[in-house]
Structure 1
Amino acid sequence: MSKTYNRLAAGERLRLKRTLLGMTQEEMAERIDRVPKYYADIERGSCGMSVETLMALSHTLNMPMDYIILGREYGENSEKKHEDEIVAVLDILDKCPQKQRASILKIIKIFISSCRK
């Protein structure tokens, strides 16, 4: 956890959560009523965000605002505790061809859906 706002780190936290939810940047931008380029810039850390955008992201991703901005952990199943595992999965997926990634994503969604029943 940091005590200062780091746009790159905040963008990475947003990217990890969005990817975990299986959403594209375009889908996320639509959900928070922003243009895709602006949302992509936020994820890359090349621009900051308004309080309104932060609130929309917090609500849409079900993430506390202080976690998005400062990386503060929350709850027993905090994002921070799982971040290394998520990064490892993303690294593996990045090495797969697009068609294979799409299949893996479908499998993950089916698995998660069956776990919720």
Structure 2
Amino acid sequence: MAVEFNYAKLGARIRKKRRELGLSQEMLAEKASLTKAHISHIENSYSKPSVQTLFQIAHALDITANELLYDYADVSMDEFCAVISELCADCSPRERDMILSVVKTMTASFPLLDNE
């Protein structure tokens, strides 16, 4: 079974990050050495960007290509754990303990966020 890539979500992630940075499509295009029309077509999923184009956009947005490609909001718990495991694979036991401490602190504060 082939997994279909969602280009609309890719475009939405690019648009969201661009807007967070206060960039117009023209400004992003200039930073990425692309045209404004090409940025618009990608954001609106009219065109499928090449890998090179994705890297150019990611660099211009100061994020990784992975952040553009992977939609962390839609992952299952197994996928989430796999991502965390992959990110921590090269960590020392002390670094893993620190990460675990941070995660525990963050999750303990979640009920406080519900009151905001």
User: What is the TM-score when the length of structure 1 is the normalising length?
Assistant: 0.56
Q: Match of 1:5?
A: 5
CA separation of 1:50 and 1:24: change in aligned 2, threshold 3 A = same
Which structure 2 residues correspond to residues 1-117 of structure 1 after superposition, within 5 A?
4-72=4-72
Q: CA deviation at 1:72?
A: 3.4
Gaps of 5+ in 1: 77-117
Q: Which has the higher contact order (CA 8 A, sep 6+)?
A: 1
Gaps of 5+ in 2: 74-82, 85-101, 103-116
Structure number with larger C-alpha Rg: 2
Work out the CA distance in 2 between the residues paired with 1:18 and 1:48: 18
Contact 1:8 1:43 in 2 (8 A): yes
SS of residue in 1 equivalent to 2:46: coil
Q: CA deviation at 1:46?
A: 1.1
Deviations 1:42-97 (A, max 9, x none): 00111110111111111111222122122237899xxxxxxxxxxxxxxxxxxxxx
Name the % identity: 27
User: What is the TM-score when the length of structure 2 is the normalising length?
Assistant: 0.56
Contact 1:4 1:70 in 2 (8 A): no
Q: Which runs of 4+ in 1 moved over 2 A?
A: 72-76
SS of residue in 2 equivalent to 1:13: helix
Give the length in aligned residue pairs.
74
Contact 2:29 2:36 in 1 (8 A): yes
Contact 2:10 2:43 in 1 (8 A): yes
Contact 1:5 1:70 in 2 (8 A): no
Work out the CA distance in 2 between the residues paired with 1:13 and 1:71: 9
Deviations 1:11-31 (A, max 9, x none): 000000000111100110111
